[in-house]
Copies of this chain bind each other. A is one copy, B any other.
Amino acid sequence: MANRLLKHFLPTAKISAERSKDILLVNPTVSGEREYAERSSLSAFSYSGTYVFSQSALTISEVDRFRDNDLINWINLGGINKKDVEHICELFNVHSLLVEDIFSVGQRPKVDEVDGVLFCQLNMLYYNEDECRVESEQISLALGKDYLLSIQEDDTRDVFDPLRLRLNIATTKLRQRQADYLLYSMLDLIVDNYFLVMEKLANRIEAMEDEVIHNSYNQSLLQINLLRKELIILRRNIIPVRDLIGGIIRSESSLIEERNLKYFKDINDHIIQAYELSENYRDMVTNIQDLYINNVNLKLNEIMKFIAVLTCLMAPATIIGGIFGMNFDIIPYAHKHYGFYLAIALMIAIPWGMLVMFKRRNWF
């Protein structure tokens, strides 16, 4: 039975161990771990307030056109193909240290300004509902004087689609301003997405709480443990982004226009709120675990008490049976025809009296 119980505990165990690996094994220095994409898809935008030109499915050799053309250029690379990334980064003067960061896996979100290029690296988060886990995709953004280079890890989903729509409309701020506003729009999009992921996690925390309150005697503990791991991953992505946005605001980089600073401050407000919210999440999960353990203990203790009382209530009957089973010559009522029934009556009456006393003392 205890085995059966433990089996109830184990179905999610495999996931649990996998997930620990994700948390524990992070090595930013070994870029060799990365599985490079076979090819990367390249697209670009050139725009000013009055003019816009875009091209997708670009080849590497065509990128040259999107440089030094008096327009703002946005080059987007999907999928990290080693040669393509290196080529483009060289073209746009991205320092080799930063290229290493692009190639590395599990890099901590960071901002850095090297040789006139403001480089941001952070993770887009997705929530995989099937496996109940937070997934991340590394996004690298390099802002130069009149260009923005964005490199996404995953070719299949494009985070920045909403921006393409806006870029095609001449009246949007995005078209009116410099490349730093495009950077702001991207960061805003990514941070906003964090809230969507947190919403999903919030739903799961809530469901967990409901379950713990209503029927708490199942594999909740392991699931709470799993949830806690997702929160570790969430927080690990959010906390350094706070430093990142703060770093941009404090950088006084000439690449960021004074009048755009307020937008970055707005993202800052959001990321601080996301951070505080994640603190609340952690508190909630801790509360749920406490509630669960208390509930389980309470239920078990109730059962143990019930059984102890039951065993105790049956003892008097054993004694009475023993008394009238003694081999004395003279046993009262032994020769009365109602003796047996009297004994049985006693066997019922005494526990009954005890029960009444227990009840009166409010033991149930």
Chain A interface residues (CB < 8 Å from chain B): 1-3, 5-6, 9-10, 13, 16-17, 20-21, 23-30, 95, 97, 107-108, 110, 112, 114, 191-192, 195-196, 198-199, 202-203, 205-206, 209-210, 213-214, 217, 221-222, 225, 228, 232, 236, 239, 262-263, 265-266, 269-270, 272-273, 276-277, 280-281, 283-284, 287, 291, 293-296, 298-312, 314-337, 339-340, 343-344, 347, 361-364
Given contacts A26-B273, A213-B222, A328-B339, 7 further A-B pairs with CB under 8 A are: A13-B210, A25-B202, A30-B192, A110-B269, A314-B316, A321-B325, A327-B327
CB neighbours of A287 from chain B (8 A): 225, 228
**Chain B residue, CB-CB nearest to A30:** B195
Q: Which residues of B contact A206 (CB under 8 A)?
A: 17, 20-21, 24
- A221-B294 CB under 8 A given contacts A310-B312, A321-B325: yes
- Residue among A21, A192, A269, A276 having the largest count of chain B Cβ atoms under 10 Å: A269
CB distance from A59 to the nearest CB of B (A): 30
- Docked-complex contact A314 and B317, CB < 8 angstroms: no
User: Quick check: A16 and B213 within 8 Å, CB to CB?
Assistant: yes
Question: CA of A291 to CA of B305 in the docked complex: distance in angstroms?
Answer: 21
- B residues in contact with A319, CB < 8 Å: 314, 317-318, 321, 347
Q: Say whether, besides A23-B284, A309-B307, A343-B326, A294 and B293 are in contact (CB < 8 Å).
A: yes
- A25 touching B199, Cβ below 8 Å: yes
Greatest chain B CB density within 10 A among A30, A300, A323 is at A323
- Chain B residues with Cβ below 8 Å from A293 are 294
Mind listing 23 A-B residue pairs with CB under 8 Å?
Answer: A3-B361, A10-B214, A17-B206, A23-B284, A24-B203, A27-B195, A97-B266, A213-B222, A232-B280, A293-B294, A304-B304, A307-B312, A308-B311, A315-B315, A317-B323, A318-B318, A321-B323, A321-B326, A322-B322, A325-B326, A326-B343, A328-B333, A330-B337
